Amino acid sequence: MNYKFTSKSVEDTLTLAENIESEKFPGMVICLNGDLGSGKTVFVKGFAASLGIEDNITSPTFTIIKEYISGEMPLYHMDVYRIDDDEDFGVEDYFNREGICMIEWAELIEDRLPSERLDINFKIIDENTRILVFVPHGEKYEELCNAIL
């Protein structure tokens, strides 16, 4: 089952991310898909802030993976936009850690993603409005969506 959330502002997106953080668990994988400027990094900022991470969160476009370990749980923020499909950058190693993986442009590496994960697809409606479609893969993610949305 898919779930839909309409964000009418950056604040709505930040609040949603904070609510999802309240349901976090070790090994969580959240895949963020959508066009440039659709709110993927804003979502990560809200989630990170709720973890107590005070670092400036920016998209790791050129570094691919940024590790934030200052919060209550490690956060691994990935941007795979510039990854060649055959390139091995060790993403699978992060799925077995005790932290949380958030992957921007995850649809580009879909064959490498774990079968259990949460996909969030961002769609731009207008300057402020975004529709976020949540696609849970696995019982834990289904329960998370039911608790939050």
Q: What is the mean pLDDT of residues 60-79?
A: 90
pLDDT value at position 146? 96
Q: What is the mean pLDDT of residues 98-109?
A: 94
Residue numbers of the domain that contains 96: 3-148
pLDDT value at position 87? 63
Write the CA distances from 120 to 20, 31, 52, 70, 88, integer angstroms.
12, 6, 22, 25, 24
pLDDT value at position 54? 93
pLDDT digits (tens, 9 = 90+) for 10-63: 999 999 999 999 999 999 999 999 999 999 999 999 999 999 999 999 887 778
pLDDT value at position 47? 96
Q: Which residue has the higher pLDDT, 60 or 132?
A: 132
pLDDT value at position 35? 95
Q: How far, in Å, CA of 83 to CA of 16, rounded? A: 28
Q: Which residue has the higher pLDDT, 68 or 60?
A: 68
- Beta-carbon contacts of 66 under 8 Å, excluding residues fewer than 6 positions away, are 58, 60, 76, 77, 78
Split into its structural domains, the chain has a count of 1
pLDDT digits (tens, 9 = 90+) for 74-99: 999 999 988 766 666 678 888 988 89
pLDDT value at position 62? 74
pLDDT value at position 115? 96
Domain with residue 83: its CATH number is 3.40.50.300
φ, ψ for residue 58, nearest 5 deg: -130, 160
Tokens of 140: 């834990």
- Beta-carbon contacts of 134 under 8 Å, excluding residues fewer than 6 positions away, are 2, 3, 4, 5, 118, 119, 120, 145, 149
Q: What is the mean pLDDT of residues 63-72?
A: 91
